Structure 1
Amino acid sequence: MRRKQRTWGRGPEKAEQHYLVQPHYLAGGGDLRHVTEFLRAAGWKDRSKTGGPLVLDSPDKSVRLGYDLFVRPGGWTVSGRATVTQEAWHATLSREVPSEIVAGLTDALTRPRPTQAPNVWAPLVHHGWETVQGEHLTARSPDGNAFVRYHQTSPGEAVWWASVRSEQTHVWDAVFTPTTPMHLVQSFAAALASPEAVMRPRGQVPRSTQIRAMAMSVLPSQLRAWRQARVTAARTTPWTLNSPSSRRPHTTERPHTAATGRRRVGR
């Protein structure tokens, strides 16, 4: 009698419940890896210390990215050192800024500076944001929950400031010093104004009457494929291809999970 062979394996995948959330700027911080894995694949170096904040340096060491959840208010910092052609600059983004919007800024750091003059207002107006000229020039989202403002602090000094509120409650801010390269602010504004929904797993959708969330089932293999597609795209950026690190084998990345330390509610 023939004996049946026992097969070993993981078995069929089990779909997990996720939600497509709109507007995306109210979706919460999300997964840090959306930002960090792209930068690592583009040649950025992880300078983080065990138990400390996340720190990544650009290949030429001109820009440093940090994420600190252990201080208040905590969140993202992006700092550029002074060079021959660029003054030092600094940007701070609250921990609740969705990682997809943070990536609008950080992804742009891996690309060459555009030759055309940047226009921060263009992507906002394109997506129906209303501009208001008052003491400060402001663009406000169609639902009134988000705005971008060119804030004049004193003659010759101005900062770019983005802020989001929900049900009259402050959610997050992003502030850019006057010397921040304008194409980076434009890239951030384009990501902020995007009408696309973002995905969040069950239990990580903020409670708000301003949010629309559509349930969907997602296989773990699909999530891995989407993340890998972003990593692959990062490895083809001009900065990456010209970096000495691109000619070395890629090492295993240190895992970073979704941000914690905030109130999350299940759906």
Structure 2
Amino acid sequence: MKKKQWQGWGPGEQAEQHYLVQPRALAGGGDVRHVSEFLRASGWRDKSKTGGPLFMESPDRTVRVAYDPYVLPGGWTIHGRADGASGEWSAHLGRQAPVEIVAGLTDALTRPRSAHAPNVWAPLQEQNWHTRFEGEHYVATSPDSTAWMQYRRNPDGTAMWWTGAQDKQGNGWTAHFTPNTPMHLVQAFSTELASPDPVMRPRGRVPHSAQIRTWSVSVKPSQLSTWQQARITAARAATWARNSARSTRPRTTARAHAAGDSTRTRR
């Protein structure tokens, strides 16, 4: 029996071969637009130069996200400016860091912090990662030993978050975060790092590694566009909701101060 074709596909639209890749940490970099389009839909400014590396800035100009594949070692740089609550911080991720895992951190930059205290190790432990002390370092390793996350304390007193993935052939990536990187961002990153869900890569973009598992799938371009647009639409909706809440918030504090000043003047 022939499968009935979904009528939503465009006329003459041909399916393209893609692959689901697992574990996601070894899937390769992926499409940078997975990160950049979400940030743009969340109100971030795209300050990239034509033909140059990606460079985006948060609406309040306190955080910058850059991706430069044209230099060695290249990759992602995320920099946060010092403010009243925390000091300056930065994160650096290699070019082969999967965009889905990078987006764990960058998506979190667009959302308010949770009221709950962050726990970087909880998402890893929930996925049965092995956590332990190794000297001065606290380490988590994935069940297949291809990915890790560490909080490192060096002999000179410095510390940092160090993470990454590597197969037996030495292919992979590393990343490090300064110790004052906001913990909720590191937790958002570790959540995506530990996720068991596979990620999708087009034919020709799947790394050659004995440590990965792949499943071939046929995908229509319209399907890919729909999935990508759903992510962008969600970002726009969340941004609109936050902006609306700010604009309708009553200014009771300002009025109270004004009333107090008026009373003192009449005296």
TM-score for the superposition, normalised by structure 2: 0.85
Change (3 A) 1:241 1:45: farther
- 1:146-175 deviations in Å (ceiling 9; x for gaps): 100000124763211102110151510110
**Paired amino acid for 2:188:** S
* Structure 1, gaps ≥5 residues long: 1-9, 248-267
| Matching residue of 1:251 | none
| Matching residue of 2:148 | 147
Q: In 2, are the aligned partners of 1:27 and 1:198 still within 8 Å (CA)?
A: yes
- Higher percent of residues as helix: 2
Distance 2:199 2:123 in 1: 18
| Matching residue of 1:123 | 123
Q: In 1, are the aligned partners of 2:149 and 2:161 still within 8 Å (CA)?
A: yes
Tell me the CA shift for residue 243 of structure 1. Answer: 4.5
Distance 2:64 2:102 in 1: 14
Q: Is 148-157 or 170-179 further displaced after alignment?
A: 148-157
Distance 2:72 2:27 in 1: 21
| Matching residue of 2:232 | 231
TM-score for the superposition, normalised by structure 1: 0.85
| Matching residue of 2:87 | 87
Tell me the CA shift for residue 132 of structure 1. Answer: 1.6
| Matching residue of 2:182 | 181
Distance 2:13 2:180 in 1: 49
| Matching residue of 2:201 | 200
| Matching residue of 2:164 | 163
Distance 1:69 1:141 in 2: 28
Tell me the CA shift for residue 236 of structure 1. Answer: 2.0
Distance 1:232 1:243 in 2: 15
Distance 2:240 2:92 in 1: 25
**Paired amino acid for 2:172:** V
- SS in structure 2 of the partner of residue 70 of structure 1: coil
| Matching residue of 2:47 | 47
* Structure 2, gaps ≥5 residues long: 1-9, 248-267
Q: In 2, are the aligned partners of 1:48 and 1:54 still within 8 Å (CA)?
A: yes
| Matching residue of 2:263 | none
Change (3 A) 1:95 1:110: same
Q: For 1:51-90, what aligned pairs fall within 5 Å after superposition?
A: 51-90=51-90
Distance 2:11 2:53 in 1: 38
- 1:17-60 deviations in Å (ceiling 9; x for gaps): 00000001100000011101100000000001122211000111
Q: In 1, are the aligned partners of 2:169 and 2:209 still within 8 Å (CA)?
A: no
| Matching residue of 1:34 | 34
Change (3 A) 1:48 1:128: same
- SS in structure 2 of the partner of residue 52 of structure 1: coil
Structure 1: 4+ residue segments shifted above 3 A: 154-157, 239-244
RMSD across aligned positions (CA): 1.7
| Matching residue of 1:210 | 211
Distance 2:192 2:157 in 1: 27
- 1:64-91 deviations in Å (ceiling 9; x for gaps): 0000011110000000001111211000
Distance 2:160 2:75 in 1: 19
